[in-house]
């Protein structure tokens, strides 16, 4: 019993994923494509920002996504607001206390002036021991007077007080005060008022009063001077003293109310209408080719403002998320199709990158047509047919068609959900696919010109009739569509060469060019190994016919058959089809050495193919057409020699793996077909009497053997395919090995 502890297997949920790194690359390609395309989509404002009154709206009809008010022009609104504020009457509060307080203040002032004047007069009439007391009494009385008089002025007042003149002065000032307080005295200059009337507020009542009816300071001065001149005549000294007292004691009783005025201004601003109408949800704002009027411009600006008020930051984030989800759905559908029906594409990250690049190219061109500030229908210059033809030539027509549908959706989205260009692109792209689905030479690309224009023309005409477009608009669109029809094939021709070189893509055009017999490798093969060359030509016919029967790439199968045995160029005489006469180079070699030489033609062939820059799809035929099959002749020879050897251990030294090709097994239908054709053609040549019945039995046996050996396990050939391949092989071999009628001359020669 072993002392070793059993190894504990830790369950790893990621272990079932075949290749996380590869999956990450595929997801990265898809995510990068979605993000880059999303950045090209219109976001936030879906309208042009540089529209002008009088210009023509070149985009599709703009429909209101939600209801919103139509705001007035900012300049016009600002002017009216300023005018409304200017027209607000300033509010003045009527001071009721001033009407009663000011006369009382005048009486109190005049009493104090009169008392101080009497004391001043007593002080001047004589000086005695009591003078100091009198002086102190005058000073005390004078300090209680809020006005400051000079000694001369006190003398005048003292003189008038003894004759009753101060009472006359008091009466004159009181008369002016009463008139001023009754009329209203404002604490502002009238020139500073913005309106010709003011609002006088008394308690809760507000009255508009003409500014001319109230008094300002200069009016009060004029009234005071007029009254004093009338009362005192030429007594200027008394009039001046009365003026000094009056102008100080008479105060405004209409006080400016700043807060109330500001509230009135605010109310006036709010009363100015900010909007001039309302746009309902789903209402047409502007139609395509419609001239923009001032009213239309206000609606467009209002839509922009309404969107901004809805919160551009959060709305923009949600909108971008929606765009990415939109694109993810479209790209995902294409990815599902490739995963289910085109695994050879989905497994190749370089080819996925190529598809993503072609889609992104269309997105970039569409973005440019949207951003360019032109009124012409440049959307018909979006080169969707170019990508459609490239996808078809590089892959096949179905990949091209599904790709065109996806691109048409993306183009429509970037153009602001423009259905017209989506339809036109889809029709033109689809027709271009049909012109290149069976390419025989590169110049065939230019046949698509007429079909591309036909697709655009049909879509333009249909939509024009539906939308009542003018003939001028239709003709302009046709001109741009014709330009696209000319440019697209030229771009396809140029980009195809670039794609083949950079992305190492093998198209049918590349294969057709390789199928020419003037290729250096084929020339060497025909010169140095003519038997192998003839064998390859025969296999090419077998493979091409069988591949067509099962829906495989017949061009690839034929070219693969041409080059599958180019490695025999290195040592052609070691292969029976190239041996002349009865001498066999293997007679003097051990079976093991012979098998090494035979198997080496695979390695030599791959090296030669790489030196001559053959596509990888063609190079794959060289090792796969033998798979891991056994080199039967030399393996059997080794066994016979070991059995006849006196050393019984010799047979144990023979390893079957030493007599097998290195592989790999066929991975595609085309390489599987070549494996079967190679074995069947060699066996057919070995038949003495290749009758159809014998050929059919031989084909059945070889297909069954390869199937049971597991050599076909890794290629997608089905049993139904094998039945079709058998019929195709039999038809070709019967044609090659048909019985020839013996003419009399041939019979006589045979008898002799």
Cα–Cα distance, 155 to 63 (Å, whole number):
92
Beta bridge partners of 11: none
Cβ-proximal residues to 18 (8 Å cutoff; 6+ apart), any chain? none
| Domain range enclosing 243 | 91-265
Residue 282 belongs to a domain? no
Q: Are residues 454 and 527 in the same domain?
A: no
Provide the number of structural domains found in the chain.
3
Residue 274 belongs to a domain? no
Reply yes or no on whether the pLDDT at 310 is more than 70. Answer: no
Q: Are residues 498 and 607 in the same domain?
A: no
Q: Are residues 531 and 474 in the same domain?
A: no
Alpha helices in 507-590, H assignment, sequence order: 508-514, 520-528, 530-550, 554-563
Q: What per-residue confidence (pLDDT) applies to 650?
A: 63
Reply yes or no on whether the pLDDT at 168 is more than 70. Answer: yes
Reply yes or no on whether the pLDDT at 125 is more than 50. Answer: yes
Question: Sign (positive/negative) of CA torsion 208, 212, 213, 218?
Answer: positive
Q: What per-residue confidence (pLDDT) applies to 504?
A: 81
Most confident of the ranges 2-16, 92-106, 526-540, 646-660: 526-540
In this predicted model, what pLDDT tens digit does every residue of 391-423 receive, in sequence order? 999 988 999 999 999 999 999 999 888 889 999
Residue 661 belongs to a domain? yes
pTM comes to: 0.60
Lowest mean pLDDT among 54-68, 232-246, 273-287, 589-603: 54-68
Q: Are residues 340 and 202 in the same domain?
A: no
Reply yes or no on whether the pLDDT at 161 is more than 80. Answer: no
Q: Are residues 409 and 387 in the same domain?
A: yes
The residue from 505, 540, 574 where one domain ends is 505
Q: Are residues 500 and 517 in the same domain?
A: no
Q: Are residues 575 and 426 in the same domain?
A: no
Cα–Cα distance, 529 to 601 (Å, whole number):
12
Q: What per-residue confidence (pLDDT) applies to 13?
A: 44
Q: What per-residue confidence (pLDDT) applies to 750?
A: 39
Cβ-proximal residues to 736 (8 Å cutoff; 6+ apart), any chain? 538, 684
In this predicted model, what pLDDT tens digit does every residue of 684-718 receive, in sequence order? 888 877 888 888 999 999 999 999 999 999 999 99
For residue 429, whether the previous peptide bond is cis, meaning omega lies within 30 degrees of 0, is no
Residue 335 belongs to a domain? yes
Residue 228 belongs to a domain? yes
- Neighbour-count burial of 38, counting CB atoms closer than 10 A to its CB (0-12 exposed, 13-18 middle, 19+ buried): buried
Q: What per-residue confidence (pLDDT) applies to 51?
A: 63
Most confident of the ranges 5-19, 145-159, 244-258, 729-743: 244-258
Residue 653 belongs to a domain? yes
The residue from 265, 289, 304 where one domain ends is 265
Q: Are residues 333 and 480 in the same domain?
A: yes
Q: What per-residue confidence (pLDDT) applies to 446?
A: 81
Reply yes or no on whether the pLDDT at 424 is more than 90. Answer: yes
Q: What per-residue confidence (pLDDT) applies to 315?
A: 56
Alpha helices in 233-311, H assignment, sequence order: 236-249, 258-271, 294-309
Q: Are residues 258 and 383 in the same domain?
A: no
Cα–Cα distance, 26 to 131 (Å, whole number):
120
Q: What per-residue confidence (pLDDT) applies to 691?
A: 85
Instruction: Give the model's confidence band at 6: pLDDT under 50 very low, under 70 low, under 90 confident, else very high.
Output: very low
Mean pLDDT for the chain?
84
- Percentage helix, strand, coil for the chain under 3-state DSSP, each rounded to 5: 70, 5, 25
> What are φ and ψ of residue 273, in 5° steps?
-65, 130
Tally Cβ neighbours within 10 Å of residue 267.
11
The residue from 444, 475, 505 where one domain ends is 505
Cα–Cα distance, 445 to 487 (Å, whole number):
12
Q: What per-residue confidence (pLDDT) applies to 582?
A: 59
Beta bridge partners of 56: 291
Residue 690 belongs to a domain? yes
Q: H-helix or E-strand containing 61? A: none
- Neighbour-count burial of 336, counting CB atoms closer than 10 A to its CB (0-12 exposed, 13-18 middle, 19+ buried): exposed
Q: Are residues 538 and 668 in the same domain?
A: yes
Reply yes or no on whether the pLDDT at 326 is more than 80. Answer: yes
Q: What is the CATH number of the domain that holds 517?
A: 1.10.3210
Q: Are residues 387 and 527 in the same domain?
A: no
Cβ-proximal residues to 445 (8 Å cutoff; 6+ apart), any chain? 389, 393, 436, 439, 489, 492, 493, 496
Contact present, 260 and 203 (Cβ < 8 Å): no
Instruction: Give the model's confidence band at 746: pLDDT under 50 very low, under 70 low, under 90 confident, else very high.
Output: very low
Q: Are residues 187 and 125 in the same domain?
A: yes
Residue 158 belongs to a domain? yes
The predicted model gives 477-489 an average pLDDT of: 94
DSSP string, 90-133: PEEEE-HHHHHHHHHHHHHHHHHHHHHHHHHHHHHH---TTHHH
């Amino acid at each position: 019993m072993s002392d070793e502890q059993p190894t504990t297997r830790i369950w790893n949920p990621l272990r079932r994923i075949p290749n996380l790194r590869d999956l990450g690359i595929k997801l990265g390609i898809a995510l990068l494509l979605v993000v880059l395309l999303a950045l090209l989509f219109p976001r936030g404002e879906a309208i042009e920002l540089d529209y002008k009154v009088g210009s023509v709206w070149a985009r599709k009809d703009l429909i209101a996504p939600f209801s919103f008010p139509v705001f007035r022009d900012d300049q016009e609104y600002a002017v009216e607001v300023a005018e409304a504020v200017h027209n607000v009457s300033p509010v003045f509060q009527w001071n009721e206390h001033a009407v009663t307080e000011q006369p009382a203040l005048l009486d109190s002032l005049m009493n104090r002036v009169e008392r101080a004047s009497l004391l001043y007069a007593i002080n001047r009439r004589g000086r005695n021991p009591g003078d100091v007391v009198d002086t102190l009494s005058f000073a005390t009385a004078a300090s209680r007077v809020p006005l400051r008089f000079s000694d001369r002025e006190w003398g005048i007042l003292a003189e008038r007080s003894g004759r009753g003149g101060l009472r006359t002065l008091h009466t004159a000032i009181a008369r002016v005060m009463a008139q001023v307080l009754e009329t209203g005295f404002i604490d502002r200059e009238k020139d500073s008022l913005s309106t010709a009337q003011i609002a006088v507020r008394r308690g809760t009542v507000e009255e508009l009063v003409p500014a001319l009816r109230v008094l300002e300071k200069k009016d009060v001065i004029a009234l005071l001077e007029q009254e004093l001149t009338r009362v005192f005549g030429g007594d200027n000294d008394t009039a001046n003293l009365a003026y000094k007292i009056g102008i100080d004691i008479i105060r405004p009783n209409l006080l400016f109310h700043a807060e109330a005025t500001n509230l009135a201004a605010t109310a006036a601003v709010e009363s100015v209408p900010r909007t001039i109408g309302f746009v309902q949800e789903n209402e047409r704002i502007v139609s395509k080719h419609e001239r923009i009027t001032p009213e239309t411009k206000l609606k467009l600006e209002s839509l922009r403002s309404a969107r901004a008020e809805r919160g551009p930051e959060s709305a923009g984030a949600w909108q971008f998320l929606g765009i990415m989800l939109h694109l993810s759905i479209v790209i995902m559908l294409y990815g599902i199709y490739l995963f289910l029906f085109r695994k050879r594409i989905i497994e190749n990250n370089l080819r996925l990158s190529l598809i993503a690049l072609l889609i992104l190219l269309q997105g970039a061109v569409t973005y440019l047509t949207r951003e360019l500030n032109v009124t012409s229908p440049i959307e018909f210059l979006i080169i969707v047919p170019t990508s459609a033809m490239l996808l078809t030539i590089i892959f096949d027509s179905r990949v091209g068609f599904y790709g065109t549908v996806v691109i048409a959706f993306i183009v429509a989205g970037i153009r602001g959900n423009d259905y017209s260009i989506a339809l036109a692109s889809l029709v033109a792209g689809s027709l271009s696919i049909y012109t290149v689905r069976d390419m025989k030479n590169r110049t065939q690309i230019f046949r698509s010109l007429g079909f591309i224009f036909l697709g655009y023309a049909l879509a333009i005409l249909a939509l024009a009739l539906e939308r009542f477009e003018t003939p001028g608009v239709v003709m302009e669109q046709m001109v741009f569509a014709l330009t696209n029809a000319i440019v697209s094939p030229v771009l396809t021709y140029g980009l195809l060469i670039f794609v083949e070189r950079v992305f190492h893509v093998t198209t049918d055009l590349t294969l057709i060019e390789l199928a020419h017999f003037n290729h250096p490798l084929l020339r060497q093969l025909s010169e140095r190994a003519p038997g192998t060359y003839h064998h390859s030509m025969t296999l090419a016919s077998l493979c091409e016919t069988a591949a067509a029967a099962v829906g495989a790439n017949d061009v690839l199968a034929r070219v693969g058959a041409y080059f599958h045995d180019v490695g025999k160029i290195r040592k052609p005489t070691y292969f029976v089809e190239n041996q002349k006469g009865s001498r066999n180079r293997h007679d003097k070699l051990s079976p093991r050495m012979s098998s090494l030489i035979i198997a080496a033609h695979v390695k030599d062939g791959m090296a030669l193919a790489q030196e001559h820059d053959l596509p990888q799809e063609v190079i794959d035929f060289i090792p796969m057409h033998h798979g891991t099959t056994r080199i039967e002749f030399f393996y059997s020879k080794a066994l016979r020699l070991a059995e006849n050897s006196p050393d019984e251990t010799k047979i144990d030294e023979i390893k079957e793996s030493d007599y097998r090709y290195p592989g790999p097994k066929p991975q595609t239908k085309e390489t599987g077909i070549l494996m079967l054709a190679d074995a069947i053609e060699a066996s057919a040549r070995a038949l003495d009497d290749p009758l159809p019945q014998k050929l059919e039995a031989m084909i059945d046996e070889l297909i069954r053997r390869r199937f049971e050996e597991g050599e076909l396990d890794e290629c997608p050939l089905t049993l139904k395919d094998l039945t079709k391949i058998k019929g195709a092989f039999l038809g070709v071999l019967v044609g090659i090995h048909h019985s020839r009628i013996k003419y009399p001359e041939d019979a006589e020669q045979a008898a002799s």
